[in-house]
């Protein structure tokens, strides 16, 4: 006789802030999962037909009953930080850490996304054996989504735009940036979430001592490449390299990145309170 034991899984109620390419993907995929029920979606533009609320309705009443909000608020629910570059802001990170201390049963989840080896980096940081970390990202010019220039723009942002234009015009690779994670998160936040995740995983180095190198290369066409160089004690070194094709001329993340994001959300079911890379 075979005895089948069924484990009852309580569905986790989800809210999503943002309904762009990724938000629409998550709505479809989470709707297929027996482990989640998508209760609320907020976006800058309200869409009654899709059941999308405006950001002005992001309030305590609408947060009531949610277990996980993808991008918000520890006093009401766990926090899934879809854009880790936001944590490069010292005050933002400090407030989240303070809120975690006040709500000890809450969790903050950081998706590893395109960064391979994030959990191994975090383990080394926990042990204090992580001594250096460099993340190198290579993309074609079309894939760098830089903020538009204005009269208030920093000179460094203007320099990034100029280098991208030079790379395009000469069909030659250019190093856009080589330095600490923190500054590039502020200059080009849409491009460096993997670097921000690395700085969070490498918490003994942080945003000021985790190094980033950004390279624009027209010959990559729609390919994105991310390398990690990790240094530890007694000469320990390791290097990872991830290559993947993006969609629409390299602008939109490929399916692998979307699926990695979805996998990170599913992994939140099994993580303890506190900061978690998933």
pLDDT in tens, 157-183: 899 999 999 999 999 999 999 999 999
pLDDT band per the 50, 70, 90 thresholds, residue 153: confident
Distance of CA 172 to the CA centre of its chain: 29
pLDDT beyond 60 at 71: no
201 in Cβ contact with 81 (< 8 Å): no
Element housing 187 (H / E): helix 181-187
Whole-angstrom CA distances from 268 to 40, 91, 109, 115, 168 are: 18, 25, 7, 17, 41
pLDDT band per the 50, 70, 90 thresholds, residue 2: very low
For position 118, what pLDDT does the model report?
92
Q: What is the pTM of this model?
A: 0.75
**Which of 78, 15, 11 lies closest to 41 in space, CA to CA?**
15
Domain 118-252 fold: Dihydrodipicolinate Reductase; domain 2 (3.30.360)
Give domain 12-114+260-277's CATH number out of 1.10.3210.10, 3.40.190.150, 1.10.10.1800, 3.40.50.720. Answer: 3.40.50.720
Helix axes 21-31, 255-267, angle to 10 degrees: 60
Domain segments of the chain as ranges: 12-114+260-277, 118-252
């Amino acid at each position: 006789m075979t005895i089948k034991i069924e484990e009852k899984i309580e569905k986790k109620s989800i809210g999503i802030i943002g309904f762009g390419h990724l938000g629409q993907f998550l709505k479809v995929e989470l709707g297929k999962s027996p482990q989640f029920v998508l209760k609320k979606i907020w976006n800058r533009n309200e869409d009654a037909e899709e059941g999308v609320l405006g950001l002005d309705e992001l309030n305590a009443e609408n947060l009531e009953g949610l277990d996980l909000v993808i991008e918000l608020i520890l006093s009401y629910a766990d926090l899934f930080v879809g854009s880790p570059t936001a944590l490069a802001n010292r005050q933002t990170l400090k407030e989240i850490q303070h809120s975690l201390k006040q709500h000890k049963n809450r969790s903050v989840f950081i998706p590893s996304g395109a960064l391979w080896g994030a959990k191994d980096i975090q383990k080394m940081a926990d042990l204090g054996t992580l001594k250096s970390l460099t993340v190198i990202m290579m993309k074609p010019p079309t894939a760098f989504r830089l903020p538009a220039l204005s009269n208030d723009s920093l000179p460094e942002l203007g320099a990034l735009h100029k280098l991208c234009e030079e790379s395009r015009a000469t069909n030659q690779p250019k190093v856009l940036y080589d330095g600490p994670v923190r500054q590039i998160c502020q200059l080009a936040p849409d491009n460096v979430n993997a670097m921000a995740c690395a700085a969070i995983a490498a918490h003994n180095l942080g945003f000021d001592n985790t190094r980033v190198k950004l390279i624009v290369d027209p010959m990559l066409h729609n390919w994105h490449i991310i390398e990690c160089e990790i240094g530890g004690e007694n000469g320990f070194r390791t290097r990872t390299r991830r290559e993947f094709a993006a969609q629409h001329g390299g602008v939109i993340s490929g399916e692998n990145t979307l699926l990695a994001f979805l996998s990170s959300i599913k992994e939140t079911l099994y993580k303890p309170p506190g900061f978690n890379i998933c």
